[in-house]
Amino acid sequence: MVPQGGQQGCARYAQCLDHLDGSPLALARSQPPPQGHHQQTQVPHRHKHREVGRETPACQEGRKPSQALKDQEQLQPASASTPEAPLPCTRPLTLRKVLHHDRQLHPDPVDGSPGAHAKEGYQQTQRKGFSSPGNRRPLPSRKEQARTRDHRSKTENWSRKWVRPPGPGNLEGARAGAWGWQGPNKPDGTPGQGATTPEESEEKRTPPSGLSWAARVCRRWHEAASQPALWHTVTLSPPLAGRLAKSGAKAEKKLLASLEWLMPSRFSQLQRLTLIHWKSQVHPVLKLVSECCPRLTFLKLSDCHGVTPDTLVMLAKACSQLHSLDIQHSMVESTAVVNFLEEAGPRMRKLWLTYSSQTTAILGALLGSCCPRLQVLEVSTGITRNSTPLQLPVEALQKGCPQLQVLRLLNLMWLPKPAGRVTAPGPGFPSLEELCLAGSTCNFVSDEALGRLLHGSPSLRLLDLRGCARITPAGLCDLPCQELQQLHLGLYGMSDRLTLAKEGSHLLTHKWRHSLRELDLSGQGFSEKDLEQALAAFSATPGGSPPALCSVNLRGTRVTPSTVSSVISSCPGLLYLNLESCRCLPRGLKRAYRGQEEVQWCLEQLLTSLPSSG
């Protein structure tokens, strides 16, 4: 079949053959090709050669020269009006051969290359997907296609037979990702991938991860992946969460039916469980967990509704090793949390809460020494911001949770409860290593409140005070911690409305220059000279050892090129440097640099710009 794009290329060759009425090529050209037929038109050809009217050396082997000449004379027409045009033969004539003769008959008059019409027709043919004779691939026969279909169906049936468990549902098959679960670590030790999110459509299903892929390899792998010792971390989320209520409830019931079989057979040694976007079936799921998962240590409920007091108390009694509870962004009654803490309080280690009107009752239980071994306490704001500030009795919290190591009050408007004149200072947090009071709005944290929190914390390693504009460098210097490694004092989007300190940054760097690894001064109003003195402290570390500083954020400050070049030269381990919106720096250098190569490039640019700036 000659395609439409190739008819331009062989137009002249067709004109040369118009005198042959009734020739095979003329008959083939006059009849339209059938629809959907991609094979080439078969025209009778007698000799095996690539060029019409000529014989290749392979055809001449074993024949006499006289016989070859006679055959050539027989091919010549009786009356040749166009002696240059060869006659059609009895072999299948392809489009490439036609174009080949067209290049011979009508070359380009300048350089002898093929004509423009031949090039255009050949290019259009290649674009339309017609294969050249060199890369042809025969189509499989009907018998081969049927054999392939039977083999695929048998393979799929075998995988379903040995991979799908005999329970009412399957969390290891191809649809497991759509049910929103997350398997434990992979056989090589790497953590499993996440499951589907409620924003993903039902058609775009996440493939199974971790052990589910391993179970689909063969029988032995399926047996190995079915061991309960491997299923120690699971995340369950219905695929239709966030949509219609009826569809979400139906999906939760479907997943619950599968869990009734999976809990005793797979999750008997489960340690960490996360439930996301459960609206109506939280109580049956937690009941199954209390019956089948006695080794549970961590429970997270994210955006879950319908958690009753009896559910958490039942779970606390059944799971004697449960010591971590995360109920952020979930609708849980304060009575349920208080009853749970009263039951499992002596063994509680970590607690995550979302601030609401019911948080005061939960904090009251903590102040009553129901969790004396609590190590991590995090309270963050919810999606709907609460304008009522949280009054935190600092001294009572220090007495109720003396072993606290991490305290986070994230994006929360809070203020310490007045201590009064008679109240003695609290015992402090002697084991506290991390204090995070970061917020996006101005809060009421002052030097006095910070001193009440940290006056007994010599082991502090991380201090995050982003957004705390009332904190001064002098107040930070009075803290008892001597080995601070991370100090974050950035002000984002609020420095224009406040009166900031212009001096005192050198007090911070001189105190912690030997241990400081991360320093954030973005948005601060320190002067150029004060910043120069502060960053010059890293060039003269005690003992002659290089400083440990690896991250510096100077975004929006008045740092100068000479100060930046000195800190880069004195800190060989610097991996992150943020110089965005620094007014004193030349253009092209006000950006963030990540990695040693980019930081060294910044140093080179600054050194070349120093003479011109002077």
Tokens 């240059």 belong to which residue?
Answer: 84
Torsion of CA 6, 7, 8, 9, to 10 degrees: 60
More confident residue, 42 or 213: 213
pLDDT for residue 75:
47
Cβ atoms of 581 and 556 within 8 Å: the answer is: yes
Exposure of 576 by Cβ count < 10 A (0-12 exposed, 13-18 middle, 19+ buried)? middle
Res. 245 pLDDT band, cuts 50 70 90: low
| DSSP letters spanning 208-241 | P-THHHHHTT-HHHHHHHT-GGG--EEEE--TTT
pLDDT (tens digit per residue) in 314-362: 999 999 999 999 999 898 888 999 999 999 999 999 999 999 888 889 9
Other CB atoms within 10 Å distance of the CB of residue 360: 13
Q: Answer whether 459's CB lies under 8 Å from 435's CB.
A: no
pLDDT at 221 over 70: yes
pLDDT band with cut points at 50, 70 and 90 for residue 184: very low
pLDDT at 246: 58
| Mean pLDDT within 373-383 | 90
Among 209-218, 232-241, 376-385, 479-488, which range has the highest average pLDDT? Answer: 479-488
pLDDT band at 70 (very low <50, low <70, confident <90, very high): low
Confidence of residue 520 (pLDDT cuts 50, 70, 90): very high
> The pTM is what?
0.66
Decide: residue 90, CB within 10 A, 0-12 exposed, 13-18 middle, 19+ buried: exposed
CA-to-CA distance for 25 and 118, rounded, in angstroms? 19
pLDDT reading at 78 higher than 90: no
What is residue 419's predicted lDDT score, i.e. its pLDDT? 67
Does the pLDDT of residue 464 top 90, yes or no? yes
Give backbone dihedrals phi and psi of 576, rounded to 5 degrees, phi first. Answer: -140, 130
| Terminal alpha carbon distance of the chain | 78
Cβ-Cβ contacts under 8 Å for 246 (sequence gap 6 or more): none
202 pLDDT above the threshold of 50:
no
Comparing CA positions, the residue from 13, 211, 193 lying closest to residue 95 is 13
- Averaged confidence pLDDT in the chain: 74
Q: Is the pLDDT of residue 513 over 80?
A: yes
pLDDT at 451: 93
Neighbouring residues of 470: CB distance < 8 A, sequence distance ≥ 6: 443, 444, 445, 446, 447
Residue-wise DSSP of 359-423:
HHHHHHHHHTTS-TT--EEEEE--SS---SPEEE-HHHHHHH-TT--EEEEET--EEEPP--SSP
Phi, psi of 553 (to 5 degrees): -115, 110
Q: 404-461, pLDDT tens digit by residue?
A: 999 999 988 888 887 665 467 788 999 999 999 998 776 778 999 999 999 999 999 9
List phi, psi (to 5°) of 590.
-90, 80
In terms of DSSP H, where are the helices of 36-84?
57-60, 65-75
CB neighbour burial string for 131-147, b if at least 16 within 10 angstroms, e if fewer: eeeeeeeeeeeeeeeee
